[in-house]
Amino acid sequence: MEAAMANQRTSEMTYSRTYDTVAFDVRDDTVMLFFAVTTTRGDIEDYLLLMRTESNGPDSALYLEINEQQFAGQDIIKAAHCTDNMLTLELAEPAAALNGAEGIVLTFTQTQENRVAFARGIIDVLGDTLTGAHA
């Protein structure tokens, strides 16, 4: 519960999130990168989902969901940058639902499983919004 509460802190410009689990999945024409805070029993306490449909076509759409609150649109994320275990999402416009935040900074626990899932999904999901990356 403390981790979920810590994720609610916002600044004027950036909404920060910290997760212990990262997963990548492909289903039909959809690729997903899932970040979660889990309890010791494995329950999901807090999550953020990035999802792209028809990732190789001109009609691809990007979706962002945070704890059942959905944001959608091809232009929702203007740019993304990742370094090691941190992903910064620059939003195309301030998100009123996130107290006007213009960006989201995600950090995740550096486990082998998380790194593999992140590496497998980051390009497929964020595509041309990814402006830079360092491993």
For residue range 6-49, what is the model confidence (pLDDT) as tens digits? 444 444 588 899 999 999 999 988 999 999 999 999 999 999 99
Residue 72 has pLDDT above 70, yes or no: no
The residues, ordered by sequence, that sit 6+ positions from 71 with a Cβ below 8 Å of its Cβ are 63, 64, 65, 95, 97
- Residue of 93 and 45 predicted with greater confidence: 45
Q: Tell me, what's the pLDDT at 5?
A: 40
Burial of residue 110 (CB within 10 Å: 0-12, 13-18, 19+) is: exposed
Q: Tell me, what's the pLDDT at 105?
A: 96
Q: Tell me, what's the pLDDT at 111?
A: 96
CA distance 108 to 118: 10
CA distance 16 to 50: 15
- Residue type at 97? A
